[in-house]
Structure 1
Amino acid sequence: MNLALPLIIIICSFAQGKDSLMEDKMRNIGLFALEEIDKDTFITRLAYDSKENFMKTNIYAPFSLHKCYLHKDMKEHIQKLAKILKAKNLKLIVYDCFRPQAAQELAWSIVPDTRYVAHPKKGSNHSRGIAIDVGLAQENGESLSMPSLFDEFSVKAWRDYICPQSQTKNCAHRNELQEIMNQAGLKSIKTEWWHFELPVSNQHDYPILSLP
């Protein structure tokens, strides 16, 4: 008797059960999974679900956070975004979405510097579920070059940075990303080409969220 197959089934069932439990938790606090909208157009590569980030720490591992979740008020914008991307034969690389408050506190304990991490008392719009960090990719999933790397804290990351002549395509890609996200009704910020938010007059209308 081959014992490997039953073991694989048990492991897969356990993983699916954990995913279902997490999604129930997220729904209970008003969030939805990005993959509900489109599994193909959005490529999730959460930067903080690995050690390959500026903190050199996986701050999402303690919370078993491996997918992109967003506030339900973002849903119509994401649906529109998927249509725009498909029409252009492009995909979106997703670097960050909802960040539980405890993860924000963990990030602050590692890098207690407001130049890089929002103070937990002030809160991040990621912890409200109304912010998303993204980049562009070709239809085959290959990322398009930008003026800087994601989470590079230099003037190259600024929305209006002017590329040198040899790198004009990088700025063209960034500008296309800005245009696409704006068409979907999301707003950008000055210092991070990758960061987009729900356009709200008062971010505090959206409470900082913690996992139940």
Structure 2
Amino acid sequence: MKIFALYFLLFTFSLSVFGQTNPPKKALHIQGIKAYKATIATDRRKTLVEIRKVIPSVKLDIRYATKNNFMGQVMYKQARAFARKEVVEQLRKIQTSLNKKGYSLKIFDGYRPYSITVAFYQKASNKAFVANPAKGSIHNRGCAVDLTLVDLKTGKDLVMPTPYDSFSAAAAANYPKASAEALKNRTFLISTMQQHGFSVMPNEWWHFDYKGWRTYELMDIPFELL
């Protein structure tokens, strides 16, 4: 019995050490600046481009560079917006089309460092409106943009069902009980983005993901290094 007990203890110990009964989950691969530079050296398509440099007429309202956001604190040291090269090219086409109709894009957020996603998840009261760091955010891949529309004549945002970053049911892309004007504007925004390869997030009318985002890496690079 003593010998059997000894073998049992050794067997149990080996399982705990080598993780045979519960292997650890595979860690996410998060690119830093060095890995990112190595990637774009061989694939320029993955370059993070500053949106304003390609689309000078685009409006910016980078909320996370201010305290006017759901966190109530400054999250970005610089009020800048980035996205992958192909994403920005499509945004440029959208902006050209909108300008002809008297409107402009207003960008709230684009590429978002992974560390910011972690901070959001830790503080958000409603986890349904923030990405789980266990999977990362499409913002971290440089393939998501948060935006709305501006009337060029008045300089004002078009009426939408909710403000940006609202944690309410009315923020859903198919919420039916908003005003007729808000529903019309939301439909116009979503259809315009869809025509250029973007899909709206179901619970956030302002959030759009670009097709093919899965081919891009998660990144944790602060704006000041770009």
TM-score by length of 2: 0.73
Matched, 1:98 2:111: yes
SS at match of 2:186: helix
**Distance between the aligned counterparts of 2:55 and 2:117, measured in 1?**
27
Matched, 1:209 2:219: yes
Amino acid at match of 1:199: K
Matched, 1:178 2:194: no
Structure 1 residue runs of 5 or longer lacking an equivalent are: 1-23
| Pairing partner for 1:48 from 41, 45, 64 | 64
| Pairing partner for 2:81 from 53, 63, 68 | 68
The structure, 1 or 2, with the larger RCO (C-alpha pairs under 8 Å, 6+ apart) is: 2
Per the TM alignment, residue 76 of structure 1 is displaced from its structure 2 partner at its CA by 2.5
> RMSD value over aligned CA atoms?
2.1
Contact 1:98–1:130 (CA<8 Å) still a contact in 2? yes
Structure 2 residue runs of 5 or longer lacking an equivalent are: 1-32, 41-46
Amino acid at match of 2:116: A
| Pairing partner for 1:135 from 143, 148, 151 | 148
Per the TM alignment, residue 113 of structure 1 is displaced from its structure 2 partner at its CA by 5.2
In structure 1, the partner of 2:98 is: 85
**If you compute each CA radius of gyration, which structure gives the higher value, 1 or 2?**
2
Matches within 5 A, 1:114-125: 114-125=127-138
- Closer, same or farther in 2 for the Cα pair 1:113/1:153, shift >3 Å? closer
Instruction: Indicate the larger mover: 148-157 or 71-80.
Output: 71-80
In structure 2, the partner of 1:152 is: 166
| Pairing partner for 1:195 from 207, 211, 217 | 207
Amino acid at match of 1:192: E
Q: Percent identity?
A: 28
Contact 2:150–2:156 (CA<8 Å) still a contact in 1? yes
TM-score by length of 1: 0.78
SS at match of 1:119: coil
In structure 1, the partner of 2:49 is: 32
Per the TM alignment, residue 210 of structure 1 is displaced from its structure 2 partner at its CA by 1.5
- Closer, same or farther in 2 for the Cα pair 1:112/1:152, shift >3 Å? closer
**Distance between the aligned counterparts of 1:68 and 1:205, measured in 2?**
21
**Distance between the aligned counterparts of 1:198 and 1:204, measured in 2?**
10
